[in-house]
Amino acid sequence: MKEKLEDFLFYMKFEKNMSPNTLSAYEKDLQDFVSFLEENKINIKNFKREDWQRYLVSLYKKYKVKSIARKISAIRSFLRFLLRENYIDKNYTGFMIIPKIPLHLPEVLDKREVENFLKIPNPSSILGIRNQAIMETFYATGMRVSELVNLNLQSIDLREKIVRCFGKGEKERIIPLGDYAAESLSRYLDIRERFNPKDKKALFLNKKGYRITRQGVWLIIKTYGKLLGLSKRVTPHTFRHSFATHLLLNGADIRIVQELLGHSDISTTQIYTHIISSKLHEIYERAHPLIRRNSK
């Protein structure tokens, strides 16, 4: 089984172009499953529904639904691979039902909160100029923090107002830059040399002149969130959620938003339609005269 697991991970890495983070998660989940089979002396070729139920019980004792769903997805993919390789002759995935994950709507900033966020950085300090460029880029592009910190100087084209980034699975996408983000990046590039760059390629630098880290960006956003006194937990991903939500609220096609975010599956993008629906209900309840009359 361990050899087959190695074959599967090789297949997912080189044939399916799976990202390193996802591959690492799959490897851990499947090693746990293989260990369960070995400890209980279960031959995968004679795997039974009762065996699966025992394993499922063990998962529910240790993990939350979201983690269990991910683990089951990894196991199903592995077993389909074994079936294609003729290592097993039965399809066991029929009784491996992935549990429904409770819908959790991500936190978003409204337009005024975003504007207030972007006003905080000190425009007379090099750190303030850099921080504003980082946040403007987040809000203009909806990038993941990992994508933003990996941007290089060659990644941006201020004349065309576009940025090239590499998302999950090393897939490249081109995202437009708005006027504010382009202007903010231009101001930052004018003072970038004052960071005494040690990394000549990196776009965003830390105080020591090296490429800024994910942790460094998180700290910037967290600090500004506290200064604003927001009750919401604001992270770099909050800007990504806000970017998508604001586009859809202003009439953008969900397929375009999917492409801009780099989602491979439209169902991932559809979470933002739930946010919009929730917000419309809030507005309706506040504004409709019948609702207000009944609440008195």
**Residues with a known catalytic role:** 144, 168, 237, 240, 263, 272
d(Cα 225, Cα 232) in Å, to the nearest integer?
Answer: 8
Burial of 103 (0-12, 13-18, 19+ CB in 10 A): exposed
Q: How many CB atoms lie within 10 A of CB 178?
A: 14
d(Cα 201, Cα 210) in Å, to the nearest integer?
Answer: 10
d(Cα 177, Cα 267) in Å, to the nearest integer?
Answer: 25
Q: Which residues pair with 205 in a beta bridge?
A: 211
d(Cα 137, Cα 120) in Å, to the nearest integer?
Answer: 15
Helix axes 236-249, 271-287, angle to 10 degrees: 70
